[in-house]
Amino acid sequence: MSTSATAAAPTAHPHVSVNRPNPVSVGTIVWLASELMFFAGLFAMYFTVRAMMDPAEWAAATELLNVKFAFANTTVLVLSSVTCQAGVVAAERFRPVRTGRLWQVTRWGMNEWITLTFLMGAVFIGGQVYEYTALVHEGVSISSSAFGSVFYLTTGFHGLHVIGGLIAFLFLLGRSFAAKRFGHHEATTAIVTSYYWHFVDVIWLALFAVIYLLQ
């Protein structure tokens, strides 16, 4: 074999590795991008209706909102993102269940953190139902005014997304309990579920700022 032919041969680099992105994570991010466009449409609808509505009528409707209660409910949802991320950290360490006493939260596993997150999300939904009931009692319904329509549509669709997240948590917990050995598949499920939950929390922060603070 000639020297030139030897020089033209490809050189192998066995120490080089290619880290491909997790297709589940990529797919989740792409799907959340489409959900972001959906909520962008809801925000556009809200601001359009607000611009067309009589300012005095709009102010009278927003005065019925219980900002303090909504702030407390928002705090619960925001803190649920913290507990959810703690569950992800435990999942990445392949620790599905606690390794200590129940009150030793630093030794909790994914299941304990996700269960707490589920309960906090359920409290948020319960708070929304309570607020809806109070507003309907005050005469603010989805058909009572333009404000009522956009309020219930924006917050209602978000509430449905929160319920979807709660269902995802149940699936995650079921998969964890059913797994004979907690591994990468279960950890990946926890990670992509957290993406969705953090997304839902960020959307609500924007809704809270727009609806309750920028009255």
**pLDDT tens, N- to C-terminus, the chain (215 residues):** 444 444 444 444 444 443 455 777 777 788 888 888 999 999 999 999 998 888 888 888 889 999 999 999 999 999 999 999 999 999 999 898 888 888 888 889 999 999 999 999 999 999 999 999 999 999 888 988 889 999 999 999 999 999 999 999 999 999 998 888 888 888 889 999 999 999 999 999 999 999 999 86
Query: All domains of the chain, ordered by start, with CATH?
Result: 22-213 (1.20.120.80)
- Identify whether the C-beta of residue 94 lies closer than 8 Å to the C-beta of residue 187: yes
Q: Under a CB-based contact definition with an 8 Å cutoff, are residues 121 and 166 in contact?
A: yes
* 207 and 155 Cβ atoms separated by less than 8 Å: yes
The single residue listed with the structure tokens 């269902």 is 167
**H-type alpha helices, 101-145:** 110-137
Cα 138 from Cα 212, distance rounded (Å): 17
Closest CA to 87 of 180, 163, 203, 186: 186
DSSP state, residue 53: S
Distance CA 99, CA 26 (A): 32
> Which pLDDT value is given to residue 21?
55
Rounded to the nearest angstrom, the gap between the alpha carbon of residue 203 and the centroid of all alpha carbons in its chain is 8
The pTM of the full predicted model, rounded to 2 decimals, is 0.85
Q: What distance in Å separates the CA atoms of residue 127 and residue 145, rounded to the nearest whole number?
A: 23
Ramachandran class of 139: left when φ > 0, alpha when ψ lies in -120 to 50, beta otherwise: left
